[in-house]
Amino acid sequence: MPFCISVILLLLLVGFINPIKAQQTTTPVKQAAPEVLPGKGPAEFDFFYAGESKDRKMYIVRNGKIAWSYIDTTGRGEISDAVLMKNGNILFAHQFGITLIDKNKNVLWNYDTPKNHETHTAQPIGSDHVVFIQNGDTAKLFVMNIKTNKTERQFTLPTKGTGTHGQFRHARLTKGGNILVAHMDLGKICEYDINGKQLLSIDMPGVWSVEPLKNNNILACGHEGHKTSYAREINRKGKVVWEYMMSDMPDYRFPEPQIATRLANGNTLINNWFNQWDSKLDPANLQVQAIEVTPDKKVVWALRSWAAPLNLGPSTTIQLLNDANAITEKVHFGDIR
């Protein structure tokens, strides 16, 4: 065989072999969570569950099985906030409106968000009032009497002015009758009284949710640029007294925590959102939807439930049915109860 032909054959052979070798040496995909998770999965707690997804679904899970479910087929957008009330009613904010339903799925009250505005958070006050934030060119906080359908309080909230969707996701009333607001676009936590007077402002980049704690501290959750994800307890001076960074979990992929809740046992429950718009689930490598973390940062429970008969979908909020710290309607905002 002539030398030149031998060289050509050798080059062709190398060309075929190298891609195959490159395929064989590709770094394997990192697992999103351990194969065996701590706790008893969906049977660990009885809970109410909702999340931001393309379908507006909510569930009550008892003994590891779906005991109640609701699919909103008439609304639009995503469920960013939902509260199960003591009487079984559910108040939920779904981007372009707020709806109150009873346990039989009857609509008791509904608010449609005006064009070019969004509503992502709402909380009941007693049985007659709802406080909510409306994103928009002029973002406002409203207190509405759902019996008369009249606005009883409203005030303007500051924003960055760079877009409606990213302004607010979460706010909660304090035991003192004020409201904590997570200014997601401003990267701040602020407290306001019933008249809109700002009482507190703490820098918190990427803050998604905020919860007042019984010790008067604040529990915040969020992610800075979708890279640095956290749950933080801070005092009223802004000092971090407890922090759980999702990067502290090498065995879990937990990129977008949304709501963190402090349980009565002292542990922290953190929801992990999955973006259905930009990502596709890998059935062989599913991330967990929530974790329970002890004060010393040990994961003692993780939820991963993506398949029938218990496909819960993306997670934004989990309200434990038997937890003494669960958010209820027994709150007040100034003189409104």
Q: Which helix (H) or strand (E) holds 3?
A: helix 3-24
At 226 the pLDDT is 56
Average pLDDT, the chain: 91
Mean pLDDT of 28-44: 90
Nearest Cα neighbor of 302 from 247, 253, 242 is: 253
Residue 55: pLDDT band (50, 70, 90) is confident
At 255 the pLDDT is 85
Beta carbons within 8 Å of 149's beta carbon, 6+ residues apart: 109
- Decide if 130 contacts 91 (C-beta within 8 A): yes
Q: What span, in angstroms and rounded, lies between the C-alpha atoms of 296 and 63?
A: 28
Please give the structure tokens belonging to residue 84: 């199960």
Q: Which residue has the tokens 């009482």?
A: 199
Looking at domain 42-320, its CATH class is mainly beta
**Residue 106 region, left (φ>0) first, then alpha (ψ -120 to 50), else beta?**
beta
Amino acid sitting at position 104 = N
Q: What span, in angstroms and rounded, lies between the C-alpha atoms of 264 and 181?
A: 23
Residue 186: pLDDT band (50, 70, 90) is very high
Counting residues of the chain whose pLDDT is more than 70, the rounded percentage is 91
Three-state SS for 42? helix
Residue 117: pLDDT band (50, 70, 90) is very high
At 86 the pLDDT is 95
Q: What is the pLDDT of residues 5-24, one digit of tens each?
A: 444 444 444 444 444 444 44
Domain boundaries, the chain: 42-320
Q: What is the pLDDT of residues 135-161, one digit of tens each?
A: 999 999 999 999 999 999 999 999 998
- Decide if 296 contacts 243 (C-beta within 8 A): no
Q: What is the pLDDT of residues 289-315, one digit of tens each?
A: 999 999 999 999 999 999 999 999 999
